[in-house]
Amino acid sequence: MLVLMGVIDAYNSAGFCLIKSKTGLNQRKFVAMASTIPVEQVNKGSPQLTGDSFIREHLRKLSPYQPILPFEFPEYSDFWVLSSRLGRKPEEIVKLDANENPYGPPPEVLEALGNIRFPHIYPDPESCRLRAALAKDSDLESDYILAGCGADELIDLIMRCVLDPGDKIVDCPPTFTMYEFDAAVNGALVIKVPRRADFSLNVESITEVVKQEKPKCIFLTSPNNPDGSIIDDEVLLKILQLPILVVLDEAYIEFSGIESRMRWVKKHENLIVLRTFSKRAGLAGLRVGYGAFPLSMIEYLWRAKQPYNVSVAAEVSACAALQNPTYLENVKEALVKERGRLYGLLKEIPFLRPFPSYSNFILCEVASGMDAKKLKEDLAQMGVMIRHYNNKELKGFVRVSVGKPEHTDTLMKCLKRLP
Ligand SMILES: Cc1ncc(COP(=O)(O)O)c(C=O)c1O
């Protein structure tokens, strides 16, 4: 029986399940505050209208996305809490929880930012300079490329262009949670086809679900966040043969040693490839992402996007970063080398089981007897931040971003003081 209320199993199979929307009340503080004074007391006799009554029904049921806390504004951040508690400066905290690039951008970026001459003028809505530089960088003509305020914006833009409320997407957890979140914001249904125990895609279940449920698009991530596995050509080609739009998120592709599939959009009308400057160029704070789209599709994304989605600062920074490919290559090499060292060292920790990764992070299973949340909290007490998972797909796991060698050293010292 199919009951479309909250999270339900559409099929009595472990292979996949259908979700109508996220459940749970919106926990934002202002919502709770708005509802503390009964409207009747204030407004006797007149119709009861509170701000949230104007909000679309499916959004009122949506639980908020949990972003990481900001670094630059210490009064709001985990750093402030941690650093003031530990009596250290925020920058002394070892931050290995959000897959940022600890080396930051090439020096040309800060110089270019300091030289911005027209901050009072709106940016180029077509980001022409950046797209020309990306065309060179990716060997794909700029007509196929659209830039955005991070890959995050492009995920939402694609959904806004493709999905009608009630349409379905396929998500393959554990993976980047923004696909599920944006689908819920856009009123779409999420069909989950969980990855296998080794985090590979279950192509048979995906094929079955596409046949039966006719979802509009599937989100694939290579390397996948949080485990770091990649999708090989054979698997990707099989999925591309299905009647579904494939959004391939390559946010971490630079660390994988495999080539980006951006150029594949010339051959596959149902493929979009997303990339970002956040990881490869250390520009997470400036928000620049980009995507490669088939020409038959990109026109509609141009029509639907916000005109000034890439700021002057973001475009200037991304262009400056691309001017120093040697720096980008050296930083990538350093992170890949450090990933190898970190993996070897994590393997020696008796309560951790690290998974091999093609990305700038390593997922670890936390051995029974040791609580993943407690491990994260204990490390935070010592000034090291990592991410922990405790959901249906990943219970008792932690993810550690690859940092500089000194970050690995500090992490290992702290781990050795546990449990
Ligand atoms: C798989 C994946 N895609 C996209 C993003 C977001 O990229 P951006 O910073 O360009 O919005 C992330 C960020 O962590 C990610 O893990």
- In the chain, domain spans: 59-101+327-416, 107-324
Spatial neighbors of 343 by CB under 8 A, at least 6 apart, are 354, 356, 357, 362
The number of beta carbons lying within 10 Å of the beta carbon of residue 400 is 27
Tell which residue, 140, 183, 149, has the closest CA to residue 305: 149
Average confidence (pLDDT) per 10 residues, the chain, 419 residues: 32 45 35 37 65 83 68 55 71 91 97 96 97 98 98 98 96 97 95 97 98 98 98 98 98 98 98 98 98 97 96 98 98 98 97 97 92 94 93 94 98 93
pLDDT for res 80:
62
Q: Return the CATH number of the domain spanning residue range 107-324.
A: 3.40.640.10
Tokens representing 179 are 């696909």
pLDDT for res 90:
74
Name all residues whose Cβ lies below 6 A of ligand 1.
Answer: 99, 150-152, 176, 221, 225, 249, 251, 276, 278, 284, 289
Tokens representing 348 are 């020696």
Q: Pick from 97, 130, 152 the residue to mutate for probing ligand 1's pocket: most ligand atoms within 8 Å of its CB.
A: 152
The number of beta carbons lying within 10 Å of the beta carbon of residue 383 is 18
pLDDT for res 57:
85
Closest-lying ligand 1 atom to the alpha carbon of residue 284: 9
Overall fold of domain 59-101+327-416: Aspartate Aminotransferase, domain 1 (3.90.1150)
CA of 277 to the centre of ligand 1 (A): 9
Contact, 134 vs 142, CB < 8 A?
A: yes
